[in-house]
Structure 1
Amino acid sequence: MAADVDSEITNNSRKMYFPLLINLGMSILAYYLTVRLIPGLKDKFIKANLFGIDMSKTTSDKVPESLGVVTGCSFLITMFLFIPIPFANSLFNGEFPHNEFVELIAALLSICCMLLLGFADDVLDLRWRHKLLLPTIASLPLLMVYYVNFNSTTIVAPKPLRDILGVNGLETGQSVVIALSIIIFNVIELFGKLWKAHQFSLYFMLPYTATTLALLKHNWYPSKVFVGDTFCYFSGMTFAVVGILGHFSKTTLLFFIPQVFNFLYSSPQLFRLIPCPRHRLPKFNSKIDRMEISTTIFRYSELNILGKFIISLFRIFKLIRWQEKDGVVVTNNLTLINLVLLYCGPLHEAKLTAILICIQIFFTGIAFVIRYPLASLFYDV
């Protein structure tokens, strides 16, 4: 009896660790290949007119854009090559886990669709009403598999909100912090009853983190490449996949506290309660080489009741800079980046990025506190 128990434990350990070790090795290889691949493709992107000018620099050099597609492709190739590994033992035993296989394929299909749609957005510069449809379309395979396998249509889908953008290294830096947070959570839970769900998540998070670190190496200040909307779409769907199919979407959402706050803070402009300029990024002051808050201008009397109430509330809690003359109001654009600059004053771009990533790390700690010591207050446990 004891021998059978020991044999089962050994077998489960092999099922748990062997695929993860292979995945980790492939992820490390993907990192080095992606680091070398990105510089080699920069000129091709510029030649294809996929480039931008860094408005936060005094130079006007062309910086290749949409390099997130390279990271996404490296991730997908790694995952495609990895597909047989988790199921190798089952092929010989004759007990093939079809549900798990379908989940993996559907997850990769959704990520692949989102990567394609994100790149289309970068190339075609789609309108916002079209952008809103893209995640819905790309997530259909994922939602169908979830419904068929778990007979449920009620899920909490983590949605990393894409409004904190435009500063060198910020998108990739925050994504790495979130990915590492999910990995830590998966490793903690790997020894529990739902270890298979967290093993599934690690299959995606390890190569995602590796390829994103490779992109971060080139995207960090001073940025040699821009990631584009492609990376944001790709990252969002990858986090949604592991959160939903890994059955920890509420916990995943906790790792997006800064993004959720940014969305709520930005809502008055996003929903046009107060004027929203096309670009809300901080302004670059070339004289002092610092980033400063960007502003919006409006007449207070022209706001509706809700707009007046919200803007007054923000003013009471000192969440905005308020300058008024002859009924014309000048205030900062409502983004987390501008809020940090409001409290800290003009900052060098590298320092601003570091502060925002530190905020992400701090709230990751808060998320773990909510998830474990305070779990009974937030979850049905």
Structure 2
Amino acid sequence: MNAENETWLLLFPICINAIMSVSAYYLTVHLIPRIKSMFVKANLYGIDMSKRTSDKVPEAIGVVTGCVFLIIMFLFIPVPFTNHILRNENFPYDKLVEFLAALLSICCMLLLGFADDVLDLRWRHKLLLPTIASLPLLMVYYINFNSTVIIIPKPLRPWFGFSLDLWILYYVYMGMLAVFCTNAINILAGINGLEVGQSLIIATSILIFNVIELSGSQWKAHQFSIYFMLPYIATSLALFKFNWYPSQVFVGDTFCYLSGMTFAVVGIIGHFSKTTLLFFIPQIINFLYSVLQLFHFVPCPRHRLPKYNKETDKLEPSTTVFYKSELNTIGRLLMWILKTFKLVKLQEDRKGVVTCNNLTLINFILINTGPLKESTLTTILLIIQIISSILAFIIRYPLASIFYDV
């Protein structure tokens, strides 16, 4: 294949995808204002607990952007294979199966996420749903690649060698990646614009990484990722317009699940799952900070949103209250560590009643900055996300040579 044909195969589908993505943006912007009243009529709405008003705000609007995203991707299916069809060349059925499996996993997650918004499922179900949705993807990975060998970082090679075959553990890792990506965005949420904002920054980071890697030997895998990232960014930008402070719509768990599965899909099929995780640094920190409450070492209320002060129109850290005697040995040890390093704001009275801020990154920022306007708090969190993405690129490129042969 000459250079001209290779450039055509690379750029033509991406250009068509970009044009369709622009159409997706305008379609989503047009749809949301016209369809949101239907959600209120169907009792799919919430009250913004961080506002003085008690207006009904449509919930689960992420299903609208998800449907537009899937429609665009369905219409796009023939485009990457046009050259093979016109020239009667051997059709790449393996690539088509990858594409369809990726869409199937995302479609399943969209359906299951909407079910969560409607039925308000328990946390144990939220861990199970992404695992089920990722099965078609893992099956295709097994058939087309079945590569479970990882390269060992340089400092560890004297003990483990140059590479290590993880076998079935690698599939466990990929399944856990899907679970983490979907729930990590869902955990770091609750204020206007945060879910969509962080997802947009992660998606843009992945897109930039894909564009950089298009000149490499694995350009087809990154081209595949771009096909998904462009329409995802377009539809999410449209949603961000309505979800930014003061929010006209709530995205719901549907959007968080859709986003997480989309990132997991491109990371797994594109063979850059470790790089994908680098773009989740704030979500990883938030998860680690939340572990005590998520695994009930410390009492965890159903909602850990910041507390709204109507008088100042600002958000303050929300708290959980419990008796010190309720904590087991591990809980006491971990709370002591957090208190020693001043990572929590904790008060204890003579009766052993402990008042502690809820363990989320949002509340952590508030205990260090003091009360903030909701828009200011979201902006700070999104700036942290951007800085983390810059750090991820530094780790991925300049620092990679310390650990790998690049």
TM-score by length of structure 1 reads: 0.97
Give the corresponding residue for 2:284. 260
In 1, Cα distance between equivalents of 2:405 and 2:338: 34
Contact 1:370/1:378 (8 A) holds in 2: no
* Greater displacement, 331-340 / 320-329: 320-329
Gaps of 5+ in 1: 1-6
* 1:170-181 alignment, distance < 5 Å: 170-181=194-205
Aligned Cα root-mean-square deviation (Å) = 1.1
SS of the residue corresponding to residue 63 of structure 1 reads strand
Gaps of 5+ in 2: 148-167
For these two proteins, the number of residue pairs brought into alignment is 375
* 1:1-381 alignment, distance < 5 Å: 8-93=2-87, 94-152=89-147, 153=168, 154=170, 156-157=173-174, 158=177, 159-160=180-181, 161=184, 162-326=186-350, 327-379=352-404, 381=406
In 2, Cα distance between equivalents of 1:216 and 1:92: 39
TM-score by length of structure 2 reads: 0.91
In 2, Cα distance between equivalents of 1:126 and 1:301: 30
In 1, Cα distance between equivalents of 2:43 and 2:404: 49
In 1, Cα distance between equivalents of 2:90 and 2:49: 57
In 2, Cα distance between equivalents of 1:302 and 1:376: 48
AA at the equivalent of 2:389: T
In 1, Cα distance between equivalents of 2:145 and 2:239: 36
Distance apart, 1:302 and its partner CA: 2.8
Aligned structure 1 segments of 4 or more residues deviating by more than 3 angstroms: 155-158, 377-381
**1:138-185 deviation line (CA, Å, top 9, x unaligned):** 111100000110124525534321211110000000000000000000
* Greater displacement, 369-378 / 350-359: 369-378
SS of the residue corresponding to residue 132 of structure 1 reads helix
Determine what percentage of the aligned residue pairs are the same residue.
66
In 1, Cα distance between equivalents of 2:213 and 2:345: 44
In 1, Cα distance between equivalents of 2:222 and 2:4: 19
In 1, Cα distance between equivalents of 2:67 and 2:324: 48
**1:122-150 deviation line (CA, Å, top 9, x unaligned):** 11111222222111111111000001101
In 1, Cα distance between equivalents of 2:336 and 2:401: 36
* Greater displacement, 316-325 / 369-378: 369-378
Distance apart, 1:257 and its partner CA: 0.5
AA at the equivalent of 1:165: A
Distance apart, 1:377 and its partner CA: 3.6
In 2, Cα distance between equivalents of 1:260 and 1:379: 23
Distance apart, 1:328 and its partner CA: 1.4
Taking a change above 3 Å as real, the CA distance of residues 344 and 137 of structure 1, as seen in their structure-2 partners, is same
